[in-house]
Structure 1
Amino acid sequence: MIELPAPPSLATPSTQVQTSYLIGEQADMLHRGSNTEWLRAASLDFDSYVEERVGVRERWGVPSELFWFTSHEYYIGSLVIRHTLTEDEGGGHIGYHVVYPWQRQGHASQMLRSALVKCRALAIDRALLTVAPDNLASLSVVRRNGGVPDGTNHEGDIRFWIDTSVAN
């Protein structure tokens, strides 16, 4: 296992992690059998790719902010916080993924804990997360972080609410 130079944390997308971002996302896409073509444009002009992802932007019709989970030059995953819910509450407040090479090492749990602190700072008292029923790893992460199930959404994902006041 690679020893990280510092504990990873949520950070603004940055060109500092260009190589590990591109390699990590490519490995993740190949592992899932997904198309990697979108990485071509990112690799050709990474500065612009990053610039488009920095700050609060409208995504899914609501203000959202993207973070990368990094340790110096190491990219581990991505996380988005929607400042308000979409009309259909489809994706909830928080979405995250850890790229394949870094999975099963506790990073998703740490990412979610950090996101809950950011949600609390945005005056989101209860954060909604949605998880596919077959995503056992994410179900475990959400439950470990205090997720309380609340039925399913229109896509069949399980809805969970997490009280952000207990986030640290």
Structure 2
Amino acid sequence: MIALPTPPTLSEPSTMVKTSYLVGEQADMLHRGSDTTWLRGASHDFDSFVADRVGVRQRWRVPSELFWFTSGEYYIGSLVIRHQLTSDEGGGHIGYHVVYPWQRQGHATRMLQDALVKCSALGIENALLTIAPENTASLTVMRRHGGIADGVNDEGDLRFWIKTLAAS
């Protein structure tokens, strides 16, 4: 296992992790059998790719922020916080993924913990997460944070509410 230079943190997307981002996302996509062609554009103009991902943006018709989980030049994963839910509550407040080479090392648990703090700062008292039923790793992470089941969304994903610090 690679020793990280510092504990990973959520931060704005940055060109500092270009190689690690591209390699990590490619490894993750290949591991899942997914299309990697989108990485070609990112690799040709990474500065613009990053600039398009910084700050609060309208995504899914709601204000959202993208964060990367990094340690020095190492990209570990990404996380999105929707500042409000979409009308169908399809994706919840928080979405995250850890790229394949860094999975099963506790990073997702830390990412969700940090995301709940950010949600609290936005005044979100209960954050909605939606998880595919077969995603046992995310279900474990959610349970570590006390998620409360709330049925299934229109896409067949399980819904869970997690209290943030704002609820205290």
TM-score (norm. length: structure 2) = 0.98
% identical equivalent positions: 75
Q: Which runs of 5+ in 1 are unaligned?
A: none
* 2:129 counterpart of 1:135: no
Look up the match of 2:39.
39
SS of 1:88's equivalent in the other structure is coil
Counterpart for residue 121 of structure 1: 121
Q: Report the TM-score, using the length of structure 1 for normalisation.
A: 0.98
What are the Cα deviations for residues 43-80 of structure 1, in whole angstroms up to 9, with x where unaligned? Answer: 00000000000000000000000000000100000000
The 3-state SS of whatever aligns with 1:149 is strand
Q: Structure 1 residue 146: deviation in Å?
A: 1.2
State the secondary structure of the residue aligned to 2:123. Answer: coil
Correspondence 1:47-58 to 2 at 5 A:
47-58=47-58
Partner of 1:160: 160
Deviations 1:104-161 (A, max 9, x none): 0000000000000000000000000000000000000011011111111111111000
Aligned Cα root-mean-square deviation (Å):
1.0
**Ranges in structure 2 where 5+ consecutive residues have no aligned partner:** none
Following the alignment from structure 2 to structure 1, what is the Cα–Cα distance between the partners of residues 7 and 146? 23
Aligned to 1:25: 25
Distance 2:7 2:166 in 1: 22
Q: Equivalents in 1 of 2:165, 2:101: separation in Å? A: 32
**C-alpha deviation, 1:166, in angstroms:** 7.6
Cα offset, 1:165, TM superposition: 1.9
Extract structure 1 runs of 4+ deviating beyond 4 A. Answer: none
